[in-house]
Amino acid sequence: MDEEGSRVVWVSLIGIFVALGLISAVRTGIASSVRSGLRDAEPGSVARRLADAYDSNPRIPLLISGLRLLLVVTAAISIGLLLYLLGLDAWLVLVASVSITVLSVALADLSGYIFGSKWPGVFCVLGLKMLLPVARSCRKLLALLPARPWQASPLVFIQQPTWESISPQQKNGIADSEGNKDAQMVESVLELKQTQVKELLVPRVDIIASDVNASADEVIHLALAYGYSRIPIFEETIDKIVGIVYTRDLLRFLQEGSDSWIPLQELARDPMFVPETKSVYDLLQDFQDRHIHIAVVVDEYGGTAGLVTIEDLLEEIVGEIEDEFDLGEPKFQRIAENEIIVDAKLGLDDLNDLLGTEVEGQGFDTLGGLIYDRLGKVPAPGDAIVETNLRIEVLSTASKRIRRVKITQTVASSDPE
């Protein structure tokens, strides 16, 4: 066999296996879209038009299978021809060509599955753009074949459900069931994917943690003083959290009569780190999968931004959860018809829900962040800002941090629940 002919066969084989991988990726992308839909497709978009065209051509899956079978047969023949021209015996050609074809097709399918699973929308749209013209040109031939067996599951391009996508009648039905608590809970669940961890974490300055060199007794006293069952431990600074100590583990250790000092890292469990931009929905799934109730939140620079617990995530859905040990100041206290006192940590979304306002922030999420942004300096008691119809006055601070704030509305609003 001359060099030019060998090169042609090799190039053809490479092209065949690339095409097999592409078909596998397209098939995976379409299957993923049939199961869950593409959340970024809008009515009238290219993706939606392709979806409608797919539903009107129910034999596309059979076309994909036919093309794949054709490529596999072509690959097997090409490999056999190449081996035969190399001078191998007929039985060796048969065995080797079958073995190489099976292995190559498996690798092509695996690579296609990996890429198709990672970018299902891309390969689904790409595949439909290539296959729909073929399906139209071969319509009469394809009509002789049965339609796809999953006709009842057409390709669906949908948007992620949001509170705004629910009809007013559905909202009213939910609200009428038990006041508006059910409606608020449904809204919170639907917004979990859009809510980022940084919006509900315990900020860095509020973290109760222990130095890694502390004794077990010291950590127990810290847990009792603040009422926490999980205490982070750090080396040198809070930016280097090396573990989470569970008081249950500490109590078991002390009950065994061991010495009160032991390297805390031997008792600590590995911390879970998450970026502050992670969605609450994804973090809740991670907590469930890993059976963990607490995570360390890191910022874009790798420093500790705060902590988040499963209780914080649940409170995002059902509202504030308080037990018999939560004896701190309430988040808000109404002192007059148009005046309330609130904690500066109150989120702007919660503030808007509370007062019926539309205060927005750029780069901050809390009332304290709003005050810092508007004042442009470290606030002191008595400092005040005016935001739309609100007068916001700083009542108390701790070091550089705002604690309590008084808000006066110039226009009366409905009372909070």
| pLDDT tens column, 196-209 | 888 888 888 888 89
Q: E strand or H helix at 312, and its extent?
A: helix 310-318
Q: Are residues 49 and 173 in the same domain?
A: no
Banded pLDDT at 189 (limits 50, 70, 90): low
Q: Are residues 84 and 175 in the same domain?
A: no
Burial of 48 (0-12, 13-18, 19+ CB in 10 A): middle
Q: Are residues 25 and 94 in the same domain?
A: yes
Q: What pLDDT is attached to residue 234?
A: 92
Q: What pLDDT is attached to residue 260?
A: 53
Higher pLDDT, 378 or 39: 378
Residue after which a domain boundary falls, among 108, 142, 176: 142
3-state helix, strand, coil in the chain (%, to 5): 50, 15, 35
Structural contact between residues 286 and 274, judged by C-beta atoms closer than 8 angstroms = yes
In this prediction, residues 320-341 reach a mean pLDDT of 69
Q: What pLDDT is attached to residue 255?
A: 76
Number of domains the chain is built from? 4
Structural contact between residues 39 and 160, judged by C-beta atoms closer than 8 angstroms = yes
Q: What pLDDT is attached to residue 39?
A: 41
- In a 13 Å sphere around the CA of 241, the CA atoms on its Cβ side amount to 30
Indicate whether 177 pLDDT > 50.
no
Q: Are residues 187 and 206 in the same domain?
A: no
Q: What pLDDT is attached to residue 130?
A: 73
Indicate whether 183 pLDDT > 60.
no
Burial of 148 (0-12, 13-18, 19+ CB in 10 A): buried
CATH code of 348's domain: 3.30.465.10
Q: What is the mean pLDDT of the chain?
A: 73
- Would residue 264 count as lying in a domain? yes
Q: What pLDDT is attached to residue 297?
A: 92
- The domain containing residue 395 runs over which residues? 332-409
Q: Are residues 7 and 137 in the same domain?
A: yes
Q: Are residues 256 and 344 in the same domain?
A: no
Q: Are residues 121 and 220 in the same domain?
A: no
Banded pLDDT at 61 (limits 50, 70, 90): low
Q: What pLDDT is attached to residue 92?
A: 72
Q: What pLDDT is attached to residue 136?
A: 66
Q: Are residues 373 and 251 in the same domain?
A: no
- Would residue 417 count as lying in a domain? no
Which structure tokens are listed for 80? 């056999």
Q: Are residues 246 and 372 in the same domain?
A: no
| pLDDT tens column, 133-174 | 776 666 656 555 554 443 434 444 444 455 455 555 454 554
Q: Are residues 10 and 28 in the same domain?
A: yes
Nearest-angstrom CA–CA distance, 68 and 63: 9
Nearest to 232 by CA among 294, 301, 274: 294
Q: SS3 of 341, please?
A: strand
Residue 382 contacts by C-beta under 8 Å, 6 or more apart in sequence?
A: 393, 394
Q: Which amino acid is at 29?
A: G
Q: Are residues 186 and 203 in the same domain?
A: no
Q: How far is CA 239 from CA 197, 232, 295, in A?
A: 18, 11, 14
- Would residue 67 count as lying in a domain? yes
